[in-house]
Amino acid sequence: MKAIAPGKLILSGEHAVVYGRPAIAMAIDRNAQTMVTGEGMAAEEVRIDLLDLSASESFSLRALRDFRDRVQRNYEAFIRGEMGLREILHKPADLFQYAFITILDGLHLKLRGGLRIRMHSTIPIGCGLGSSAATTLSVLRAVGHYFRVEFRPDWYYRYSMEAERLQHGFPSGVDTFISLHGGCAIFRDGQAQKIPLPRFRFRLVDTGTPTCTTGECVAEVHRRFADASIWVEFERVTLVMANALARQDAQSLRSTLRENHRLLCEIGVVPDKVRDFIAEIERRGGAAKICGGGAIRGEHAGVVLIFADSMPDDVFERYGYRLLSFRGEPLGVRIV
């Protein structure tokens, strides 16, 4: 038994979605996978294996509940401004410990023996592809299925969002929604309107993991632009893009991607090196933009989406970037 949950790609509306403006996002076929078994485990022992990091830890239920309470206090301190976002959690397994004990106690599930949770992901971490939301959802879905819990999307959305806030501070919910339901949607204020997956051919390049988290970027943008009118411009561009996707209008899509990029530059989340790379893409007739929170320092900004008729590989190689293969994914989190 294995649960898988897809990553996501934001086509338009990064950061703006936090302020109630629309975003267009799609699921991609890079995914997080979780396997749950009780075989060979001691009573009330929970073991979490992060296969990609070759890391493994075991916990008792009491330790997990103490950990949850401590993390909740950390989050409350963060809300009060007494603690930084990066201080809430300390290591990769923390997020999944919290997700596990939250759904276990939230649904009043009883652990009769021990449990082993094994995770693997094909989604690059920290690059704007929704890795934390996908992995959290895969854990929740696998645990729910193991305990034969009815699949109620609203439950999984709620528990995933509880965990996501520890990672991102004030998540918009778009990562969780897309990973939960798959496909493509226009997302706004926690509500989504499903639209067909784009039929355009996009390319994706990894510029490297940012030195700052998405939560830090969101917090800095909020400090500088929370009350700015720029979000109205973001909304206009997103709605024009939605129309371009519906009409299969390549020229309009190229134009809106370029406008979106300019707005992201204006709020300061596109490093100079990435900006130079995108400028070269545009000189060659294409369009490109970052697809996540970007970066407020350093030269890496996660993934960049490219829309171009053709692009020689030497362009990417010159900047030290690597191409990532992907396709749109119509399905959300599920058991396979």
Looking at the fold, whether 225 and 172 belong to one and the same domain comes out as: no
Write down the pLDDT at residue 64: 95
pLDDT at 191: 84
Kindly give the confidence (pLDDT) of every residue in the chain, 336 residues in length, as a single tens digit, with 9 standing for 90 and above: 799 999 999 999 989 998 989 999 999 999 999 999 987 777 888 999 999 888 999 999 999 999 999 999 999 999 998 988 889 998 888 999 999 999 999 999 988 888 999 999 999 888 889 999 999 999 999 999 999 998 889 999 999 999 999 988 888 889 999 999 999 999 988 789 999 999 998 999 999 999 888 878 888 998 899 999 999 999 999 999 999 999 999 999 999 999 999 999 999 999 999 999 999 999 999 999 998 889 999 999 999 999 998 877 788 888 999 888 899 999 999 999
Q: If we measure between CA atoms, which residue out of 24, 120, 125 comes closest to residue 328?
A: 24
CA dihedral 32, 36, 40, 42 (to 10 degrees): 110
Rounded (10°) CA dihedral 136, 138, 140, 145: 180
Answer yes or no: do 248 and 269 share one domain: yes
Q: Cα separation of 217 and 58, whole Å?
A: 33
- For position 129, which CATH number holds? 3.30.230.10
Q: Residue 122 half-sphere exposure, CB side, CA atoms within 13 Å?
A: 11
User: Within this chain, do residues 169 and 203 fall inside the same structural domain, yes or no?
Assistant: no
As a whole number of angstroms, the distance between CA 255 and CA 243 comes to: 12
pLDDT, position 325: 83
Q: Which two tokens stand for residue 20?
A: 């109630």
pLDDT computed for residue 219 by the predictor: 85
What pLDDT does 119 receive?
Answer: 95
Cβ neighbours for 167, distance < 8 A, ≥ 6 positions apart:
89, 95, 132, 213, 214, 215
Query: Looking at the 3D structure of the chain, how many domains does it have?
Result: 2
Regarding whether 226 and 148 lie in a shared domain, the answer is: no
pTM (predicted TM-score): 0.89
- The identity of residue 113, as a single letter, is G
In terms of domains, do 130 and 34 share one? yes
Is residue 64 domain-shared with residue 160, that is, in the same domain? yes
Quick one: pLDDT at residue 136? 95
Clarify whether residues 171 and 59 are in a common domain: yes
pLDDT for residue 315: 85
Packed helices 93-106 and 131-146: angle between N→C axes, nearest 10 degrees: 40
> Do residues 39 and 152 share a domain?
yes
- Side-chain half-sphere exposure of 254, counting CA atoms within 13 A: 14
Model pLDDT, residue 146: 93
Structure tokens at 7: 């990553």
Check residue 43 and give its pLDDT. Answer: 80
Q: Tell me: do 154 and 250 sit in the same domain.
A: no
Both 6 and 42 in one domain: the answer is yes
Measure Cα distances from 214 to 8, 113, 132, 261, 293 in Å.
Answer: 14, 37, 11, 17, 5
Q: Are residues 166 and 252 in the same domain?
A: no
What is the spatial distance between Cα 316 and Cα 288, in angstroms, rounded to a whole number?
13
Give me the domain span that covers residue 63.
2-194+329-335
Check: CB of residue 111 under 8 Å from CB of residue 104: yes
User: What is the pLDDT at residue 173?
Assistant: 87
CATH code where residue 218 lies: 3.30.70.890
Q: Are residues 233 and 186 in the same domain?
A: no
3-state secondary structure the chain: CEEEEEEEEEEECCCHHHHCCCEEEEEEEEEEEEEEECCCCCCCEEEEEEHHHCEEEEEEHHHHHHHHHHHHHHHHHHHCCCCCHHHCCCCCHHHHHHHHHHHHHHCCCCCCCCEEEEEEECCCCCCCCCHHHHHHHHHHHHHHHHCCCCCCHHHHHHHHHHHHHHHHCCCCCHHHHHHHHCCEEEEECCEEEEECCCCCCCEEEECCCCCCCHHHHHHHHHHHHCCCCHHHHHHHHHHHHHHHHHHCCHHHHHHHHHHHHHHHHHCCCCCHHHHHHHHHHHHCCCEEEECCCCCCCCCCCCEEEEECCCCCHHHHHHHCCEEECCCECCCCCEEC
Pair of tokens at residue 21: 């403006």
